[in-house]
Amino acid sequence: MVHQLRIGSRLIEEDVVTIATVDLGYIERAREGKFDLGWLRDSHAEWGIRARPSRVGLTLRDIAVGSYGEVPDHPPKRTMAPRGCDVDPDVPDMGYSINDKAEVWSDNVMELYEEAVSRQWSATRDIEWTELPELDADLEHAMCQLATVLSEVEMVAADFPAKWLWRINHDFVEAKMFLCTQVMDEARHTEVFRKRALAGGGGLGKAKAVVEQFLKVILDAQSYDEGSALMHLLAEGLVLSLFRAGELLSPSPVEKKIFRLCMQDEARHVAYGTMHLRYRLEREPALAPDFHAYLDRGEEIIAALFATPEVVEPTAILAAGSLKAAEEMGVGVSDILRTRMIEEYLARCDRAGLPRRGRMRLPEIILAGTSGGAEACVEGVAS
Amino acid sequence: MIAVVAATGFPSAEWFASLSAHATSDPERLRTLGVADFRLAVEIVDTDGKVRTFGVIFDGYDITSAGEFSDPEVFGSEATLTGPIEAWQAMVANITEHGAADGLHTLNALSIADTPLKVVADDPMGRDKFFRYAETLQTLFDASGLVALART
Ligand SMILES: [Fe+2]
Ligand SMILES: [Fe+2]
C-alpha cells in the first residue's frame, strides 16, 4: 500500500510501514495468548544443521554449513535479510548496485575476516609511547614527514570500502564484513601515524597535491572493480612495501612495532585484493583489458610519488641517520625500496591473473632493475 | 656470542622444538597477537653449502616445530626463509644478547633486501603471509634467547 508521509519538510510517497498499516488487533490477540506462529509454521530453516566450532572458536567457515554456506552468484533479491532465512515476499528493494558475487568475492575472504578480528590492536594501548626516544632533529623531521604522508593516505583505504559497502548485496555479507574490518584497520593506521607525528614533538609535515590526486582517483573510481584494483592491489601493495621499509629504517623499537603491526593489517588487505581480482577474472576474463587500463592510469600517478621529495627524502634520511649523511649517500635505499615495491606488485598481478610484466608504461628511471617495462622482458629480467 | 649460539644446539630439530615451546609458554600473549595460519620453512645454508631445512607450523594460536626435512617438498611450506648460517647465528646471538632482536636483526630487517636472509615462495600470497604474521613470527624468533638461557 502506498502512503504519503511528511518527514520534516519532505513529503514522500512510499510503500512503507505506518501505524495505519499495522494490525493493532494482533497486540490484543497476543495478550490473550493467541499467537500467530506463522514464523514457525512456514519456516524452511535447516533444522538440525548444526555448526560446530573449530579449534579457535566458531568461525565463519564453521557456520558455512548446508544451504547457509551457499553464496549465490546472482542473488534473487536485494534485501538485508540474512542469507538463508525465510524472506517475506514484500521486503523492499534496497537498491544494491553490486549484485554479482564475482564483483566483491574472494575465496579467502572468510579467513581474512576472522584473522582481522583476531589480530586487532590498539594504537593507544599496544604502542609503548612513553619509550619513544628523543631523536636528533633531522630524524624527527623525517619520521614526522613520513608519518604525515601515511596518516594522509591511510584513510582513503577506509573511505573507499565505506563508499561502496552499502551498494553491495547483503548475500555477500562475508565480503562486506571483511571490508568493515578494513575500515577499522585504516582508521587505526591513520590514528597511529598521526599520534607518532605528535608524540615526538615534531608535529605534522607537508601534504602534497600529487598524493591527494592519487587518493582522489581511488575515491572517484567509477566502479568497485576500478577502485579495488587501484587500491587493494596497487596502492596497498606499495604501502605494504613501504611499511616493510619503515620497520627497517625506524629509529626506535617504538616505530618498528608500529610498522610491524600495520604491515600485518596491510598484508590482509592486499591478500583480499589479489585474490578478489583473481576470482573476478576467472569468471569474466574479458574484463582483463579494463583492469589493465585502470592500472595503466594508476601506475602513472603513483609513479609520481617516486619523484616526490616529501615521500623519498624522509626514507633516505632515516636510512642514512642524518640529512648530511643522506646528502652524501643519495637515495640508494629508495632505489632498493622502489625496485622491491614494483617486483612485489608484479608478482601479485601475476597471481591475480593479470600479468603486468613488460607492460608498465613508466620512465626507465623508475622501472630500471625491475621486470615492469617492455625492455626488461626482452632482456629476460622477467624470467 | 656465536659460540654461545652453537652451545644451544642451533641449528637442530631440538632447537626449533625448544624455540616453539618457549614461544608458546605464554598462551595469552599468542592469543593477543591473534590467529595465524602458515607453514614456514627455515632454510639454513652451511659454510660448505649444505642446506638444512626445518618446518614451523602456525595454526590458530599454536606454534609447533615440524622438525627437520631432507625433502622440503614433503613439508609443503608456503614460504621459505633462507640464508647462510652466519646470518642465522648472528640473529640468534643478537636476540640472546638483547632479549629480543635489535633494529637491524628483526626478521623483516634481515630479509627486506633479500640479503642476508631471503623470503622465497612460489605463491606471492605465501610470501605475503610472512608480513601478515610479522609480529607472531618475531615473537617466535625472539624466544631464541630463552632457548639459550635454558641450555647454558
Ligand atoms: Fe593501511
Ligand atoms: Fe590497507
Quickly tell me which residue has 494490525 as its cell.
A23
The alpha carbon of A189 and the centre of ligand 1 are apart by a number of angstroms equal to: 5
| Size of the A and B interface in Cβ pairs below 8 Å | 85
Give the nearest chain A residue to B123 (CA atoms). A351
In this structure, are A173 and A322 located in the same domain?
yes
A56 touches chain B (CB under 8 A): yes
Cα of A307 to nearest chain B Cα, Å: 21
Whether the Cβ atoms of residue A78 and residue A96 lie closer than 8 Å to each other: yes
Residue A73 has pLDDT above 70, yes or no: yes
What is the predicted pLDDT for the residue at B4? 58
Contact B108 A260 (CB under 8 A): yes
Three-state SS letters, chain A: CCEEEEECCEEEEECCCCHHHCCCHHHHHHHCCCCCCHHHHCCCCCCCCCCCCECCECCCCCCCCHHHHCCCCCCCCCCCCCCCCCCCCCCCCCCCCECCHHHCCCCCHHHHHHHHHHCCCCCCCCCCHHHCCCCCHHHHHHHHHHHHHHHHHHCHHHHHHHHHHCCECHHHHHHHHHHHHHHHHHHHHHHHHHHHHHHCCCCCCCCCHHHHHHHHHHHCCCCHHHHHHHHHHHHHHHHHHHHHHHHHHCCCHHHHHHHHHHHHHHHHHHHHHHHHHHHHHHHCHHHHHHHHHHHHHHHHHHHHHHHCHHHHHHHHHHHHCCHHHHHHHCCHHHHHHHHHHHHHHHHHHHHHCCCCCCCCCCCHHHHCCCCCCHHHHHHCCCC
The alpha carbon of B37 and the centre of ligand 2 are apart by a number of angstroms equal to: 20
Q: Return the sign of the alpha-carbon dihedral for residues B64, B111, B120, A266.
A: positive
In a domain, A79, yes or no: no
In a domain, A236, yes or no: yes
What is the predicted pLDDT for the residue at A375? 57
In this structure, are A114 and A175 located in the same domain?
yes
What is the predicted pLDDT for the residue at A3? 63
What is the predicted pLDDT for the residue at B152? 54
What is the predicted pLDDT for the residue at A382? 35
Confidence of residue B150 (pLDDT cuts 50, 70, 90): low
B125 touches chain A (CB under 8 A): yes
In a domain, A229, yes or no: yes
In this structure, are A58 and A118 located in the same domain?
no
Whether the Cβ atoms of residue A321 and residue A255 lie closer than 8 Å to each other: no
In this structure, are A148 and A294 located in the same domain?
yes
How many Å from the N-terminal Cα to the C-terminal Cα in chain B?
12
What is the predicted pLDDT for the residue at A163? 97
CATH number where A262 lies:
1.10.620.20
In this structure, are A65 and A105 located in the same domain?
no
Confidence of residue A379 (pLDDT cuts 50, 70, 90): very low
Residue A87 has pLDDT above 70, yes or no: yes
In this structure, are A64 and A117 located in the same domain?
no
Mean pLDDT score across all residues of chain A? 91
The alpha carbon of A274 and the centre of ligand 2 are apart by a number of angstroms equal to: 13
A120 touches chain B (CB under 8 A): yes
Query: B32, B33, B35: which to substitute to probe chain A, counting the most A Cβ within 10 Å?
Result: B35
State percent of chain B over pLDDT 90.
82
Q: pTM for this structure? A: 0.92
Residue A189 has pLDDT above 90, yes or no: yes
What is the predicted pLDDT for the residue at B145? 87
What is the predicted pLDDT for the residue at A372? 84
Query: What residues contact residue A189 under an 8 Å CB cut-off, 6+ apart?
Result: A150, A151, A154, A157, A262, A265, A266
In a domain, A166, yes or no: yes
Rounded Cα gap, residues A179 and A89, in angstroms: 29
In this structure, are A337 and A235 located in the same domain?
yes
Question: Given A21, A47, A69, which residue is the final one in a domain?
Answer: A69
Q: Tell which B residues from 63 to 102 touch A, by Cβ distance under 8 Å.
A: none
In this structure, are A63 and A192 located in the same domain?
no
Contact A264 B103 (CB under 8 A): no
Residue A377 has pLDDT above 70, yes or no: no
The alpha carbon of A176 and the centre of ligand 1 are apart by a number of angstroms equal to: 17
Mean pLDDT score across all residues of chain B? 91
List the one residue out of A375, A193, A192, A208 whose CA is nearest residue A302. A208
Question: Given A13, A46, A69, which residue is the final one in a domain?
Answer: A69
Domain ranges of chain B: 2-147
The alpha carbon of A169 and the centre of ligand 1 are apart by a number of angstroms equal to: 25
Which chain A residues are Cβ-neighbours of B36 within 8 angstroms? 115
Query: A263, A269, A336: which to substitute to probe chain B, counting the most B Cβ within 10 Å?
Result: A263
Residue B112 has pLDDT above 80, yes or no: yes
In a domain, A89, yes or no: no
User: Which numeric CATH code is attached to B2-147?
Assistant: 3.30.1050.10
- Residue range A180-205: mean pLDDT, rounded: 98
Contact A336 B113 (CB under 8 A): yes
Confidence of residue B7 (pLDDT cuts 50, 70, 90): low
Confidence of residue A16 (pLDDT cuts 50, 70, 90): low
B115 touches chain A (CB under 8 A): no
Contact A244 B37 (CB under 8 A): no
Confidence of residue B34 (pLDDT cuts 50, 70, 90): very high
Cα of A145 to nearest chain B Cα, Å: 21
The alpha carbon of A372 and the centre of ligand 1 are apart by a number of angstroms equal to: 25
Question: Given A12, A46, A69, which residue is the final one in a domain?
Answer: A69
State percent of chain A over pLDDT 90.
73
Q: Which domain holds residue A294?
A: 101-382
In a domain, A323, yes or no: yes
What is the per-residue pLDDT across B47-86, written as a single tens digit (0 to 9) for each?
A: 999 999 999 999 999 999 999 998 877 899 999 999 999 9
What is the predicted pLDDT for the residue at B65? 95
Q: Nearest CB to A248: which of B59, B108, B124?
A: B108
- Residue range A231-238: mean pLDDT, rounded: 95
